[in-house]
Structure 1
Amino acid sequence: MGDRWRDTAQWRIVDEISAWTGRDVAELILRTGEPGLRRTDSAQLAIFTMSLLALDYLTEHHSIGPIHACAGHSLGEYTALVAAGALTPETGAKLVAARGAAMRIATLRCPGTMAAILGAGSEVVEGFAAAARADGARVWVANVNGPRQVVVSGTAEGVDAVAQDARLARLKVVRIPVGGAFHTPLMRPAVPLLRRALAAAEFERTGVAVVANADAGLYTATRWRALAERQLTAPVRWTAVLATLSRLGCTRLVEVGPSRILAKAIGRGDHAPTVRYFGYPAEFEP
């Protein structure tokens, strides 16, 4: 994952994040394979590092103009806070490490999984999840990624129940290979550890708007501790986040990170903004 960054000036960030978090990040992004990256603590730190490498490269090469607003999907919210200047890279890295460790504890206590339901809106999928919960299952809507792309999260049995109803309704189900029920009440065991890390973190006031996953609102630095904690157990309302960016007048978006995911989803919507993806050196097209 990180090979293409080794000979760039940005590689210093890998050493810095290793020092800040006590993890061998070079090992993580160079030699840890997919099975190892299924551990949420390892995956989160690897993705955050790759995102900061891309962000720093764009900034150094003046490939993007002034940033008017930021948003990030789930873990990406921490990259967004760094991009906006609300968190320093060091504080962001320490929070991501704490978040990953906390969420790993939760997954060990209550393993779970996720699945994307394609072809129906959030109300339909919420209906499936509510019916499953009425039968004793533990499953919830975790991400509203688009008008016809909704992710559910819960125990394996709960997700299976929703998947069965979705298939009966002739909807496509795509399993997501994770070991936890992220963005659901099953993440509550992660809250105390992240809360302690957030209490020690300094959030800076910034003139760049950051849109929250939890409710698509714009918040000042003083509110982000509560919002980051809430995000652990609340769904990511991504369609609402994009609507907020649209109201702010954001017509050109740049996605950074190790894989092109959000740019594809954003590009499908009506009146979609122009989206550029950047994940590796010399890849960005202004």
Structure 2
Amino acid sequence: MTKFALIFPGQGSQVVGMGRELADARPVTAEAFRQADAAIGYNLSQIMWEGPQETLNLTYNAQPAILTASIALYRAFLQENPDFEFVCTAGHSLGEYTALVAADALSFEDAVRLVNARGRFMNEAVPAGQGAMSAVIGMDRALLADICERVSAEYGPVELANVNCPGQIVISGKAEAVTRAGEVISAEGGRDKPLVVSGPFHSSLMKPAADRLAEEMKTVEFRDAKVPVIANATAGPVQGADEIREALVRQVYAPVLWEDSVRVMIEQYGVEAFLEIGSSSVLAGLNKKVNKAVPTHFFKDLDTFAKVQTAIKGESTNA
């Protein structure tokens, strides 16, 4: 049998209408949206399906929306593939919560409530306009880390936030520091592109949000995961309830080590194929740049459902 890793995308993949087509076609999918609405206490599914996009993009809506769409799709996939097994799982930032639901470490309803709170805490941690993020293309990680360290000493914190794949890293921190880092990056031969975000996510400026999330987590039951979950903050496995909780708190202000996580899943767990489930296929693109020899199949709508079914069966046959 092919060794699969199950992976889930994070914030930024939200789009009005996501999940509706499959919810109309499959009751098991529609039930996930009803559960999310009940858990969160307002009509999240209406925002997801009717918008406007600006409302969906609000961090405290986008995070539970992406989680809900991913779990709805995952349930539809399991209905057709009840014997599907995966050796480990992971998610990009917010997607780590989805991975924990799939690994049975956290209930779906609790996850929806937690990420809604996480979104609010992150949104409120830094006043609007005081933080920023920027995507850096074509720069060595060590050099970029050095630039951030030098700029931080003079302008305030700017740090690596998302180490996505070779040549694609996001930096985050104080707005002035991110701007100055961009100037140095350009002088050093790299390129940076400011991101439209509401805060300096995955930077030390998010520590207040992490502290509030830690308190919120005391009201939620965590269980030991049925398979290892590769944590964003360390690119290492977590499986016990206590270490899962600690990893989620740290994740708020630590960089997302996605490139490292992909390598760990391949090299330590022998993963031979990835399955990405969610409203985008962004991780498939990142994974290909990390290791193009290991395929990433993705399922995000009815059009891709048949394709992933064929791919999954093909992997099993070839194993």
Alpha-carbon separation, structure 2, partners of 1:64 and 1:173: 44
Amino-acid identity (%): 31
Alpha-carbon separation, structure 2, partners of 1:36 and 1:193: 24
Displacement after TM superposition at 1:253 (Å): 0.5
Is 1:36 the equivalent of 2:52?
no
Aligned with 2:158 (options 118, 133, 139): 139
Alpha-carbon separation, structure 2, partners of 1:159 and 1:36: 26
1:218-237 superposed matches below 5 A: 218-219=237-238, 220-237=240-257
Give the superposed CA RMSD.
1.8
Displacement after TM superposition at 1:110 (Å): 6.8
For structure 1, which segment, 108-117 or 91-100, has the greater mean C-alpha deviation from structure 2 after superposition? Answer: 108-117
Alpha-carbon separation, structure 1, partners of 2:215 and 2:181: 35
Is 1:151 the equivalent of 2:170?
yes
Aligned with 1:244 (options 264, 267, 276): 264
User: TM-score if structure 2 supplies the norm length?
Assistant: 0.84
Alpha-carbon separation, structure 1, partners of 2:250 and 2:169: 20
Alpha-carbon separation, structure 2, partners of 1:204 and 1:146: 31
Q: What residue number does 2:289 align with?
A: 268
SS at match of 2:134: strand
SS at match of 2:274: strand
CA contact (8 A) 2:105 2:226 kept: no
CA contact (8 A) 2:157 2:204 kept: no
Give the number of the structure with larger relative contact order, counting CA–CA contacts within 8 Å between residues 6 or more apart.
2
Is 1:193 the equivalent of 2:188?
no
The residue type equivalent to 2:22 in the other structure is W
Alpha-carbon separation, structure 1, partners of 2:83 and 2:231: 22
Is 1:118 the equivalent of 2:160?
no
Displacement after TM superposition at 1:155 (Å): 2.5
SS at match of 2:194: strand
Q: Against the structure 1 CA distance between its residues 280 and 133, is the aligned structure 2 distance closer, same or farther, given a 3 Å change threshold?
A: same
The residue type equivalent to 2:264 in the other structure is T
SS at match of 1:133: helix
Displacement after TM superposition at 1:107 (Å): 3.8
Q: What residue number does 1:257 align with?
A: 278
Deviations along 1:226-277, one digit per CA (max 9) or x if unpaired, are: 1111111111111111121011011110111111211101112345421011
CA contact (8 A) 1:15 1:25 kept: no
SS at match of 2:161: strand
Q: What residue number does 1:104 align with?
A: 123
Alpha-carbon separation, structure 1, partners of 2:90 and 2:247: 13
CA contact (8 A) 2:263 2:290 kept: no
Q: Against the structure 1 CA distance between its residues 13 and 107, is the aligned structure 2 distance closer, same or farther, given a 3 Å change threshold?
A: farther
SS at match of 2:301: coil
For structure 1, which segment, 259-268 or 5-14, has the greater mean C-alpha deviation from structure 2 after superposition? Answer: 5-14
CA contact (8 A) 1:121 1:149 kept: no
Q: What residue number does 1:86 align with?
A: 105
Deviations along 1:153-197, one digit per CA (max 9) or x if unpaired, are: 112222111111122223222322111100111112212331122
The residue type equivalent to 2:231 in the other structure is A
Displacement after TM superposition at 1:79 (Å): 0.5
Deviations along 1:132-154, one digit per CA (max 9) or x if unpaired, are: 11222331111111121111011
Q: Against the structure 1 CA distance between its residues 270 and 224, is the aligned structure 2 distance closer, same or farther, given a 3 Å change threshold?
A: closer
Displacement after TM superposition at 1:109 (Å): 6.5
Alpha-carbon separation, structure 2, partners of 1:243 and 1:51: 23
Alpha-carbon separation, structure 2, partners of 1:124 and 1:55: 39
Q: What is the total number of aligned residue pairs between the two structures?
A: 286
For structure 1, which segment, 266-275 or 182-191, has the greater mean C-alpha deviation from structure 2 after superposition? Answer: 266-275
Aligned with 1:4 (options 10, 16, 21): 21
Displacement after TM superposition at 1:282 (Å): 4.3
Displacement after TM superposition at 1:77 (Å): 0.3
The residue type equivalent to 2:116 in the other structure is A
User: TM-score if structure 1 supplies the norm length?
Assistant: 0.94
Q: Which runs of 5+ in 1 are unaligned?
A: none
Aligned with 1:60 (options 79, 83, 107): 79
Please identify runs of 4+ aligned residues in structure 1 that moved more than 4 A. Answer: none
CA contact (8 A) 2:132 2:195 kept: yes
Deviations along 1:27-76, one digit per CA (max 9) or x if unpaired, are: 22012233223321111111111111111111111187212110011000
CA contact (8 A) 2:200 2:206 kept: yes
For structure 1, which segment, 182-191 or 26-35, has the greater mean C-alpha deviation from structure 2 after superposition? Answer: 26-35
